[in-house]
């Protein structure tokens, strides 16, 4: 009999409330992430993006519906990694030891952990900083270490919660390309939360748009751009402008339906007039 292939991530009618049901964070969310797929999640502040990642990661449980990772409810033993807005490195450990640490607790030998950690630091361009401590690194470099640490466990599911939001524009750009290169090489399933529409289009194969109060799926938008993404900047392409416009229109429509438009504009960054394809 043919083996059943489960999607890396599957959500079926997932709901989640906090404060004894007074805060309805997510309502009836259903979508899947296919093997090797890069999916971004966008939506205004408070629409449940982080809650969604925490549900997939198994840090919290849904009140209703089902979250499945590789066909099973999420659990710590699964090959999943999460990257946050700040790298959250252990300050008393060196850079290389921060990565070795996660390998050691997964049962890798001391020797193997070190060689893997050093190889990964090479991949993210930080081999020369192996023996530095986190405070000696810039925010962008720390985030690179965080990425290397997440990849060390060779996850087949990588969750990212606005990982580049705190970085300057240039570092952000460099890390995006680095992430795309790593993804093209390893092809893990990625769920990437961002407030930045351009970033979502540049990185993803599909974009899940959430609407707030309670968080629901507004649309799932396929992003069909010529690849490989790490080598082609789509921002000059007509299809990019069209996608950007349609996402922006969608967000404006949410505003008209009652969500404060200014909040949305602040959260997403209104397209500059010169970038506006309709002008
Ligand atoms: N542990 C919690 N206890 C109580 N309420 C919570 C908790 N976690 C999230 N919430 C509420 O659930 C809703 C969704 O929060 P969440 O952090 O997932 O949104 P978000 O889309 O990630 O927001 P942002 O873009 O501002 O980071 C919010 O109303 C938030 O206040």
Would you state the structure tokens that stand for residue 16, as one six-digit string? 């989640």
What total number of domains does the chain contain?
1
3 state SS of 87: coil
Nearest ligand 1 atom, CA 51: 18
Q: State the ipTM, two decimals.
A: 0.97
Q: What value, to the nearest 5°, has the Cα angle with vertex 257 and ends 253 and 259?
A: 95
Which atom in ligand 1 lies closest to the alpha carbon of residue 43? 21
For ligand 1, atom 6, the nearest C-alpha belongs to 18
- Rounded CA separation 122/130 (Å): 9
232 in contact with ligand 1, CB cutoff 6 A: no
Would you state the pLDDT for residue 259?
A: 47
Containing domain of residue 113, as a range? 80-154
Q: How far is it, in rounded angstroms, from Cα 7 to Cα 71? A: 7
- What are the pLDDT digits (tens) for 183-214? 998 889 999 999 899 999 999 999 999 998 88
On the question of pLDDT at 174 being above 70, the answer is yes
| In-domain check, residue 96 | yes
Picking from 183, 192, 191, 184, the residue whose alpha carbon sits closest to that of residue 8 is 191
Buried-exposed string 56-73: b where 16+ CB fall within 10 A, e elsewhere: bbeebebeebebbbbeee
Q: Is the CB of 137 under 6 A from ligand 1?
A: no
Residue 105 included in any domain? yes
Tell me: pLDDT of 271 over 50.
no
Ligand 1: centre distance to CA 218 (Å): 18
- pLDDT at site 232: 86
Atom of ligand 1 nearest to the CA of 48: 18
Mutation probe of ligand 1 site: the residue of 21, 48, 192 with most atoms within 8 A of C-beta: 48
**Segment 134-172, tens digit of pLDDT:** 999 998 899 899 989 998 888 989 999 999 888 888 888
* CA 270 to ligand 1 center in whole angstroms: 23
The mean per-residue pLDDT over the stretch 80-101 comes to: 93
Mean pLDDT of 9-15: 97
Choice from 23, 56, 61 to test ligand 1 binding pocket (greatest atom count within 8 A of CB) = 23
Tell me the percentage of the chain whose pLDDT exceeds 90.
58
Cα R_g (the chain), whole angstroms: 19
pLDDT for res 5: 81
CB within 8 Å of 100: residues ≥ 6 apart? 110, 113, 114, 117
Cα–Cα distances in Å, from 105 out to 79, 114, 143, 198?
13, 13, 21, 37
Supply the pLDDT for residue 160.
Answer: 95
Mean pLDDT of 255-262: 56
Residue 163 domain flag: no
Is the CB–ligand 1 distance for residue 48 below 6 Å?
yes
Decide if 124 is inside a domain. yes
Which atom, in ligand 1's list, is nearest to the CA of 47? 21
* pLDDT greater than 80 at residue 219: yes
Whether pTM exceeds 0.90: no
**What pLDDT is stored for residue 272 in this prediction?**
41
Which is higher by pLDDT, 244 or 265?
A: 244
pLDDT at 107 over 80: yes
| Count of H-run helices and E-run strands, the chain | 8, 9
What is the spatial distance between Cα 110 and Cα 151, in angstroms, rounded to a whole number? 18
The rounded distance, in Å, linking the Cα atoms of 217 and 214 is 10
Write down the pLDDT at residue 96. 97
How confident is the model at residue 267, as a pLDDT?
Answer: 53
**What pLDDT was estimated at residue 261?**
43
Query: Which atom of ligand 1 sits closest to the CA of residue 162?
Result: 27
In short, whether 47's Cβ falls inside 6 Å of ligand 1 is: yes
Q: Which residue did the predictor score with more confidence, 203 or 276?
A: 203
Alpha carbon of 210 to ligand 1 centroid (Å) = 13
The CA distances from residue 197 to 83, 154, 188, 238, in Å, are 19, 28, 22, 16
Please indicate whether residue 50 or residue 79 has the higher confidence score (pLDDT): 50
pLDDT at 264 over 70: no
Q: How far apart are CA 180 and CA 231, in angstroms?
A: 9
Question: Do the domain assignments include residue 237?
Answer: no
Assess whether the C-beta atom of 49 lies below 6 angstroms from ligand 1. Answer: yes
State in Å: Cα 47 to ligand 1 middle. 7
Q: Which residues contact 105 (CB under 8 A, 6 or more apart)?
A: none
More confident residue, 257 or 268: 257
Smallest CA separation from ligand 1 atom 28, residue? 46
Burial status of residue 25 (CB atoms within 10 A of its CB: 0-12, 13-18, 19 or more): buried
Average pLDDT, the chain: 87
């Amino acid at each position: 009999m043919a083996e059943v292939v489960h999607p890396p991530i599957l959500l079926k009618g997932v709901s989640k409330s906090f404060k004894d049901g007074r805060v309805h964070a997510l309502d009836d969310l259903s979508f899947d992430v296919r093997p090797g797929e890069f999916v971004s999640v966008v939506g205004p502040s408070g629409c449940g993006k982080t809650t969604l990642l925490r549900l997939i990661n198994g840090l919290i449980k849904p009140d209703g519906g089902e979250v499945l990772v590789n066909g099973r409810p999420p659990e710590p033993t699964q090959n999943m990694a999460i990257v946050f807005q700040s790298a959250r490195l252990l300050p008393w450990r060196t850079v290389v030891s921060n990565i070795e640490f996660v390998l050691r607790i997964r049962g890798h030998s001391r020797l193997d952990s070190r060689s893997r950690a050093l190889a990964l630091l090479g991949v993210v361009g930080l081999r020369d900083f192996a023996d530095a401590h986190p405070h000696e690194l810039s925010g962008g470099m720390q985030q690179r270490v965080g990425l290397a640490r997440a990849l060390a466990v060779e996850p087949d599911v990588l969750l990212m919660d606005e990982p580049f939001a705190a970085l300057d524009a240039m570092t952000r750009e460099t890390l995006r390309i680095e992430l795309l290169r790593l993804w093209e090489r390893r092809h893990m399933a990625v769920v990437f939360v961002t407030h930045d529409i351009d970033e979502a289009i540049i990185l993803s194969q599909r974009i899940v748009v959430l609407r707030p109060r309670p968080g629901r799926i507004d649309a799932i938008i396929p992003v069909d751009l010529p690849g490989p993404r790490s080598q082609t900047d789509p921002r000059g392409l007509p299809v990019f402008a069209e996608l950007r416009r349609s996402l922006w229109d969608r967000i404006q429509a949410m505003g008209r339906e009652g969500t404060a438009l200014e909040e949305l504009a602040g959260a997403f960054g209104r397209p500059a007039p010169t970038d506006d394809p309709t002008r």
